[in-house]
Structure formats: structure tokens, C-alpha cells
């Protein structure tokens, strides 16, 4: 008990900024992708450990960029991914999802349910013309109604769904067929603890989604609260059957449009945009599905690994190492952290 009290006192002295458990490895300068005043938006990794990120704002053509060797190259090469460029001049969310075979889904919230869209690219960067109309699904129809997509994930359960969290009040998750874009039917209303009173029954958008086929569970980031939806008869063909939603990790509400959640099935890890510590410093929670414990990535201002707003994140592996890459919005960088120790929760108490 004395040790717990001592550590708690130390955390108080440190101003409540939790120490990071993941070690900063490197920054990747992405300013060449946003020379016109744009910013980095979302990030995802494919199964080979290549990184893909979207840009927004600025005056130039907005598109997807790919980094094939984020760890092994000292100064990684930024390569334009898709042909032709997605070309979405917009200040709104441009979010990514990637399936196991390297198909890249790009969702665009145009601020208008009639014109929002989702594009599907093959791994070579060309549109998959079997999806939607010639590769573009617009409008995004969920359970018969047009919606604005806020975050997406591929649900790899054999049914091949793309899950879509909406930014249309009240907030929902819907699904479309990942092959055709066809409406996937019934919706699930999403909740979180927006008023931070400990009860996660508030209507809240999920900025970030993942589906774990082993647990048949949907994870979501409810503006910094880590949520999990399951059901005794849960089926992706009727999302309303995911009727049990629990809050796994509770944090002070972080008002962000970052697509802040990812899932690494091989390691049973979830990473999500979790906390705003010292001024503008984002932290990433890395949650172990097996131990139900959480470690943190991200450092205070002035230190390597400072995440200066943003916070879109992705887990990936290179060799035997596990990494998390995070968008640092105001520095136009990706901050990379490595798991250098087993996930444990000791320092949290
Ligand atoms: Ca509440
Ligand atoms: Ca909260």
C-alpha cells in the first residue's frame, strides 16, 4: 500500500501526466506532402507494415500517400499511392481502412449526406471498379438513409463488411458490403461518456472503429473513451444485435476529428487517441485485449515523441517488433513508438 501511495504522489507531483510505456523511436517528416499549407489527417498500416496517410486543408490536390519502409529507411520516401489522385479539396474527415489483401478504402465526409463518398482502391492504387459505381460509393446509404462517414474499418469475418461510423446526429454505426458497397442494413446507435460522469450512456460519435472476428466484437473510440460492443446473438448482418456496449477505458472527452483507433490482430492490441495531457499533448492508449490493461505512448511538449494535436494512429509490425505510428498535426510528422517491454499496468497505480 505504501508503494501505491508513493507512486500516486509522484504522479500528482508530475502534474498528472502519465509516463509513456512505449518508447519513441523516430519522427518521419511528411511536410513534403503538405507544402501548400495542408495537414496530415488519417493513418493506417497494411499487413506488410507499410503506412498510408491522408492529407487535408491546403490548396493542392488532396490524396493518399504511402511509406513503404517506415522503419528500415532512415529518411522514408513519401510516394503518391493512388492513380488518379482522389482529389478531394475539403477540410473534412478523410479516413482510411485497409483489409488483409491490401485493398484501401477512403471515406470522405463532404459535410453533405448527398455527396459524401467511399472509394475502394486495389493494392496497386487503381480503383476497384466493382465497388459502388466504378469504384466510388456515393451517397453512402446505410439502412436506407444517406449518411456522412466519420470513420471506417474492414470487418474480416468472411462476410466482408465495411463498418461505417456516421457523423449524422444521432450517431450510428452502419455497414456496407466491402465488395459492392451495397447497404448492409440495420444500424447500431453509438454511445460514450461525453459528460465524463462515469456513465457511458451519452450519444457520441465513434472516431475510429475496429472489428475483432475472434471475439465477434466491435471496438470504438468515443471521443477518447474506449468502447466495446458485443451481443449474445451478434451478427454483422444486423448491427443492432451488438446490443451490449461497455466502456473499457474512460478518459476526459477529447473533441477531435482524428480517426483514432486501430487493431493489430496478431498481437491482440488496440491503440486509440486517449488523452490530452499537458497543453496540446496527445497520448495514445495501447490496450491489450488479452490482459485488459493499457500502456501509453506520447510525451510532453519539448520531448521527442511529443504529439502536437492530431492523434490518428496505427499499429504495425516490422520483423519481430511492434510499433505505433501517430499523426502529430502541428509538426507535419508521424511519431513512431516501439513496444520495448511487455504490456503491463504497474506504473498506472
Ligand atoms: Ca455520462
Ligand atoms: Ca469520457
Q: How close is the Cα of 203 to the center of ligand 1, in Å?
A: 9
Which ligand lies nearest the alpha carbon of 198?
A: 1
How far is it, in rounded angstroms, from Cα 329 to Cα 323?
A: 19
Q: Are 188 and 239 in contact (CB under 8 A)?
A: yes
How many independent structural domains does the chain possess? 1
| Summary mean pLDDT of the chain | 89
Cα of 8 from ligand 2 centre, angstroms: 22
Q: For residue 260, how far is its CA from the centre of ligand 2 (angstroms)?
A: 14
How many angstroms is it from 231 CA to the middle of ligand 1?
Answer: 22
Ligand 2 midpoint to CA 113 (Å): 27
Ligand nearest to the CA of 201: 1
Q: What pTM, to 2 d.p., does this model score?
A: 0.91
Q: What is the share, in percent, of the chain residues with pLDDT greater than 70?
A: 91
> What's the confidence (pLDDT) of residue 259?
77
One-letter-per-residue 3-state SS of the chain:
CHHHHHHHHHHHHCCCCCCCCCEEEEEEECHHHCCCCCEEEEEEECCCCCEEEEEECCCCCCCEEEECCCCCCCCCCCEECCCCCCCCCCCCCEEEEECCCCCEEEEECCCCCCCCEEEEECCCCCECCCCCECCEECCEEECCEEECEEEEEEECCCCCEEEEEECCCCCEEEEEECCCCCECCCCEECEECCCCCCCCCEECCCCCEEEECCCCEEEEEECCEEEEEECCCCECCEHHHCCEEEEEECCCCCCCCCCCEEEEHHHCEEEEEEEECCCCEEEEEEEECCCCCEEEECECCCCCCECECEEEEEEEEECCEEEEEEEEHHHCEEEEEECCCCCCCHHHC
**Which listed ligand is nearest to 197 at the C-alpha?**
1
Q: Which of 12-26, 106-120, 146-160, 284-298 has the lowest mean pLDDT?
A: 12-26
Name the residue range of residue 304's domain: 2-348
Mean pLDDT of 131-144: 98
pLDDT tens-digit series, residues 205-252: 999 999 999 999 999 999 999 999 999 999 999 999 999 999 999 999
The ligand placed nearest to the CA atom of residue 253 is: 2
Assess whether pLDDT exceeds 60 at residue 3: no
Give the closest ligand to the alpha carbon of residue 225: 2
Q: Compare 209 and 156 and report the one with higher pLDDT.
A: 209
Ligand 2 center from residue 254 Cα (angstroms): 8
pLDDT at 11 over 60: no
Give the domain CATH number at 140: 2.120.10.30
For ligand 2, the distance from its centroid to the CA atom of residue 224, given in whole angstroms, is 6
Distance CA 182, CA 247 (A): 31
The Å distance, Cα 276 to ligand 1 centre, comes to: 19
Strand partners, 296: 285
Question: How close is the Cα of 221 to the center of ligand 2, in Å?
Answer: 10
Decide if pLDDT at 152 tops 80.
yes
* Position 280 confidence tier, pLDDT thresholds 50, 70, 90: confident
285 CA → ligand 1 middle, Å: 20
pLDDT digits (tens, 9 = 90+) for 53-95: 999 988 877 999 999 999 999 999 999 999 999 988 777 879 9
Amino acid at each position: 500500500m505504501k508503494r501505491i501511495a508513493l507512486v500516486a504522489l509522484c504522479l500528482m507531483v508530475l502534474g498528472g501526466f502519465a509516463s509513456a510505456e512505449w518508447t519513441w523511436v523516430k519522427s518521419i517528416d511528411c511536410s513534403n506532402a503538405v507544402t501548400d499549407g495542408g495537414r496530415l489527417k488519417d493513418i493506417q498500416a497494411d499487413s506488410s507494415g507499410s503506412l498510408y496517410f491522408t492529407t487535408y486543408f491546403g490548396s493542392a490536390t488532396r490524396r493518399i500517400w504511402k511509406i513503404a519502409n517506415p522503419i528500415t529507411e532512415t529518411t522514408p520516401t513519401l510516394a503518391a499511392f493512388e492513380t488518379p489522385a482522389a482529389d478531394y479539396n475539403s477540410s473534412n474527415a478523410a479516413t482510411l481502412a485497409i483489409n488483409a489483401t491490401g485493398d484501401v478504402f477512403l471515406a470522405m465526409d463532404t459535410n453533405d449526406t448527398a455527396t459524401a463518398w467511399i472509394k475502394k482502391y486495389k493494392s496497386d492504387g487503381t480503383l476497384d471498379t466493382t465497388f459502388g459505381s466504378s469504384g466510388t460509393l456515393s451517397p453512402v446509404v446505410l439502412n436506407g438513409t444517406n449518411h456522412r462517414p466519420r470513420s471506417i474499418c474492414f470487418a474480416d469475418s468472411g462476410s466482408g463488411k465495411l463498418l461505417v461510423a456516421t457523423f449524422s446526429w444521432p450517431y450510428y454505426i452502419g455497414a456496407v458490403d466491402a465488395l459492392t458497397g451495397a447497404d448492409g442494413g440495420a444500424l447500431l446507435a453509438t454511445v460514450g461518456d461525453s459528460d465524463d460522469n462515469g456513465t457511458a450512456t451519452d450519444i457520441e460519435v465513434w472516431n475510429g472503429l475496429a472489428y475483432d472476428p475472434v471475439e465477434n466484437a466491435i471496438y470504438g473510440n468515443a471521443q477518447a473513451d474506449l468502447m466495446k460492443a458485443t451481443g449474445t446473438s451478434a451478427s454483422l448482418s444486423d448491427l443492432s444485435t451488438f446490443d451490449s456496449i461497455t466502456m473499457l477505458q474512460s478518459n476526459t472527452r477529447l473533441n477531435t476529428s482524428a480517426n483514432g483507433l486501430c487493431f493489430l490482430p496478431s498481437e491482440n492490441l488496440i491503440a486509440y487517441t486517449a488523452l490530452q495531457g499537458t497543453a496540446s499533448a496527445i497520448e495514445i492508449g495501447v490496450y491489450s485485449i488479452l490482459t485488459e490493461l493499457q500502456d501509453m505512448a506520447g510525451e510532453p511538449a519539448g520531448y521527442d515523441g511529443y504529439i502536437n494535436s492530431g492523434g490518428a494512429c496505427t499499429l504495425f509490425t516490422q520483423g519481430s517488433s511492434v510499433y505505433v505510428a501517430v499523426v502529430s498535426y502541428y509538426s507535419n510528422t508521424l511519431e513512431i513508438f516501439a513496444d520495448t517491454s511487455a504490456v503491463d499496468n504497474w506504473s498506472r497505480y
